[in-house]
Amino acid sequence: MLFAKLNTLVTYTPLVGHPVWDLALGALRELSTDTSLGITELRGEAMFMNVHRYATKREQDCCFEGNRDLIDVQCIIRGGELVVWALKSDLRKSGEYDAEKDFQFYHEPDPMSQTRIHLSAGHFAVFFTEDGHRPQIHDGMEPEVLKAVVKIHRSLLNL
């Protein structure tokens, strides 16, 4: 997992200069509160951005999730939410893997193996295929978020 602020380049310098990361982060930098909702293809089905709006929820109503092939770059445009991170190796699967959506739910891990981050406007987090995350948690301040998620197939990064 990587957590940074879009306008603080020094915190994610190792990503800069790679065409896939430049495309993803460039697309996120262009977002505004007027950005249209929906999916925009950046490199076909291998890389796309989904801009959506939703009400945050109580933590107990949110689930851990993860992907096998897609990397999530989650960026808040407006509002804020808490996201809990854990390595998938510390998680137990809940239900069946959805191959079409590349999506798996997980049971909550031991609290000691979790890390909480506060995603607010202008911040982004990268969740790699080894990472589980529990997004959409109400942060006690913002009832709703406007968020963009760039999905990058790991093959584009030779992972």
> What pLDDT, in 10s, does the model give residues 47-94?
999 999 999 999 999 999 999 999 999 999 999 999 999 999 999 999
Task: In whole angstroms, give the CA distance from residue 36 to residue 33.
Answer: 9
**The predicted structure's pLDDT at residue 113:** 85
- Confidence band for 110, pLDDT divided at 50, 70 and 90: confident
Count how many Cα atoms sit within 13 Å of the Cα of residue 13 in the half-sphere of its side chain.
Answer: 2
In this predicted model, what pLDDT tens digit does every residue of 34-49 receive, in sequence order? 999 999 999 999 999 9
- Confidence band for 25, pLDDT divided at 50, 70 and 90: very high
Q: Which residues contact 46 (CB under 8 A, 6 or more apart)?
A: 152, 153, 155, 156
- Domain 2-157 sits in CATH 3.40.50.460: no
Structure tokens of 93? 């699967």
**The predicted structure's pLDDT at residue 144:** 96
Helices (H), the chain: 19-29
Tell me which residue has tokens 């200069």.
17
Residue 28's alpha-carbon distances to 77, 85, 121, in angstroms, are 9, 21, 11
**The predicted structure's pLDDT at residue 159:** 79
Structure tokens of 100? 């079409």
Percent of the chain with pLDDT over 70: 100
pTM (two decimals): 0.94
**Any idea where the domains of the chain sit in the sequence?**
2-157
